[in-house]
Amino acid sequence: MPRARDALPLVAIIGRPNVGKSTLLNRLIKKREAVVHDLPGVTRDRIYADCDWRGREFLLVDTGGIVFSKEDELTSSIRKQAEVAIKEADLILFVVDVKAGITLEDEEIASLLRSLGKKTILVANKVENLQDEALAFEFLNLGLGEPVIVSALHGVGTGDLLDKIVENLPEKESTENIEVEAAITLVGRPNVGKSSTLNRILGEERSVISDIPGTTRDAVDSYYQFNGKIYRIIDTAGIKKKSDKEEPLFFYSFLRALRAIERSDVSLFLIDASEGVTKQDQKIAELIEEKGNACIILLNKWDLVDTEDKRKKIYASIERKLYFLNYAPFLHISAKTGRNINKIFQNVEQVLSEYRKRIRTSELNKWMENLKQQGYTVVSGAKKLKVYYCVQTDVEPPEFVFFVNDKSLVKKNYKKFLENRLRESFGFTGTPIKIYFRNSE
């Protein structure tokens, strides 16, 4: 039986400004994700990324630099958000700068970590030579154990650090006794009706309902049986704009929502139909697609969309702003009146089937041969892209590898062309499709 996904452990990178936290994140994930600059305080928003080492996956979160020595609105907000990350994390990477020595901020952060009893790895960064390496042992005085010596800029010691991270990750939780078909997450902006929708599905007042945005601050699990199968439903706090005054509180909600999406198979993406698609809706949609969830768009408060003009506007905003989720079906619902609530899990079953669909290799290559006869390909100068064959390598979501003569010839529009043709021939409604290209020797 299919199993719902497990939540990834969360590893937070913290420290005072300009100790190399963002450089370290980039080095650990081998990508340039975080903004790196010599100006202290550049990282004000959270940067998160998936990391995989020795078969263990975890989520890295970069935070803004913590400053105790001055008190203004910006530094206070950054510090509070970092404190939120510390409390939510399973493991802390406390980064210090060996060239600067122990500072007052380092001591304050170490004191905070000791008081919270959080599992911490002390990371002595910017070690360029043997002299720097000797200086690193000064940081034993912080009372957080022996530092792991690294140079994030040059990649020295990061393999040892990753080994230590994996050793200190929490053990994988034993899968619940209940046989779960799939995990379903309710996600969306605050006050779009997630808790009301959950209560309608379950037929009971399981979640707190309030007109005050942000009432649900934790991700809450419930269980629901449909057609003889049990589903885990996760209600999440609304993901709000980063500029709000209560940003630390909503950053906590964001982390919980992010992890809920990660351990889910299907995201029920709620949009307030009376308001249309907002920029924040777009960001949430991008997060759903990035994490590879199947998706159903629930247009809630449809009872308020009472004119043809309003209906045209909401459809236009979906087509324009959520074009990258054009594979996701949408359902008009009203948590207030109960409209179409009984159809939600009919749609869940359908998209799950597509999410787990596997196409036989022989069928795929027959499809590929027919496609090649249409003559659409990529030409660059004297070079012409040739596709030899393709295979489906994974499900949840479906993943395809196309073997070609030169993958450097592949353009974005050709990749989209293949995705569209796959959908035309095989469906895949409600699920993203991952496409990769590999040179055939």
How far apart, in whole angstroms, are the C-alpha atoms of residue 267 and residue 45? 24
pLDDT of the residue at 220: 54
**DSSP β-bridge partners for residue 183:** 232
Neighbours of 80 (CB within 10 A): 17
The distance of Cα 318 from the centroid of its chain, to the nearest Å, equals: 22
pLDDT of the residue at 32: 45
Buried b (16+ CB within 10 A) or exposed e, 23-58: bbbbbbeeeebbebeeeeeebeebbbbebebeeeeb
pLDDT of the residue at 132: 87
| CB within 8 Å of 208: residues ≥ 6 apart | 195, 215, 216
Q: Which CATH superfamily is domain 182-355 in?
A: P-loop containing nucleotide triphosphate hydrolases (3.40.50.300)
pLDDT of the residue at 251: 60
The span from the first CA to the last CA of the chain, in angstroms, equals 38
Give yes or no on whether 10-168 and 182-355 have one common fold. Answer: yes
pLDDT of the residue at 40: 40
Is-contact 280 189, C-beta < 8 A?
yes
Q: Per-residue pLDDT averaged across 202-218, rounded?
A: 49
pLDDT of the residue at 431: 97
Residue keyed to tokens 């590879």:
292
How far apart, in whole angstroms, are the C-alpha atoms of residue 333 and residue 270? 10
pLDDT at 245 over 50: no
18, 89, 38: which is closest to 60 by C-alpha? 89
In the structure encoding, which two tokens stand for residue 411, read together? 């353009």
Domain boundaries, the chain: 10-168, 182-355, 361-439
Tell me the pLDDT tens digit for each residue of 314-371: 999 999 999 999 999 999 999 999 999 999 999 999 999 999 999 999 999 999 998 8
Return the SS3 of 185. Answer: strand
How far apart, in whole angstroms, are the C-alpha atoms of residue 436 and residue 400? 6
CATH for the stretch 10-168: 3.40.50.300
Is-contact 275 304, C-beta < 8 A?
no
HSE of 102 in the Cβ direction (CA atoms, 13 Å)? 17
pLDDT at 246 over 60: no
How far apart, in whole angstroms, are the C-alpha atoms of residue 323 and residue 335? 25
Q: What does pLDDT average to over the chain? A: 83
Tell me the C-alpha to C-alpha distance, in Å, between residue 264 and each of 68, 112, 180, 202: 38, 33, 11, 18
The distance of Cα 16 from the centroid of its chain, to the nearest Å, equals: 25
Taking each helix axis from N to C end, the angle separating 73-88 and 247-262, rounded to the nearest 10 degrees, works out to: 30
In the structure encoding, which two tokens stand for residue 56, read together? 């263990």
In the structure encoding, which two tokens stand for residue 241, read together? 């704009």
Tell me the pLDDT tens digit for each residue of 40-99: 433 334 467 778 898 888 888 887 777 655 555 556 666 676 777 777 789 999 999 999
CATH for the stretch 361-439: 3.30.300.20
How far apart, in whole angstroms, are the C-alpha atoms of residue 116 and residue 57? 25
**Confidence grade of residue 219 (pLDDT, cut at 50, 70, 90):** very low
pLDDT at 102 over 60: yes
pLDDT over 90 for what percent of the chain? 46
Instruction: Quote the DSSP letter at residue 171.
Output: P
Tell me the pLDDT tens digit for each residue of 132-190: 888 999 999 999 999 999 999 998 999 999 999 999 998 865 545 568 899 999 998 88
In the structure encoding, which two tokens stand for residue 75, read together? 């530094």
In the structure encoding, which two tokens stand for residue 287, read together? 């997060």
**DSSP β-bridge partners for residue 125:** 97
Phi then psi dihedrals of residue 17, to 5 deg: -65, 145
How far apart, in whole angstroms, are the C-alpha atoms of residue 362 and residue 360? 5
DSSP-H helix ranges across 63-187: 73-88, 104-116, 130-136, 158-168
Neighbours of 96 (CB within 10 A): 28
- Flag whether the pTM goes above 0.75: no
Return the SS3 of 302. Answer: helix
How far apart, in whole angstroms, are the C-alpha atoms of residue 253 and residue 264? 16
Q: Per-residue pLDDT averaged across 295-305, rounded?
A: 95
The distance of Cα 85 from the centroid of its chain, to the nearest Å, equals: 15
pLDDT of the residue at 390: 93
How far apart, in whole angstroms, are the C-alpha atoms of residue 220 and residue 242? 23
Is-contact 235 260, C-beta < 8 A?
no
| More confident: 200 or 39 | 200
Phi then psi dihedrals of residue 50, to 5 deg: -80, 145
**Confidence grade of residue 235 (pLDDT, cut at 50, 70, 90):** confident
pLDDT of the residue at 49: 78
**Confidence grade of residue 380 (pLDDT, cut at 50, 70, 90):** confident
The distance of Cα 198 from the centroid of its chain, to the nearest Å, equals: 22
Return the SS3 of 27. Answer: helix
Tell me the pLDDT tens digit for each residue of 393-436: 999 999 999 999 999 998 888 899 999 999 999 999 999 999 99
**Confidence grade of residue 30 (pLDDT, cut at 50, 70, 90):** confident
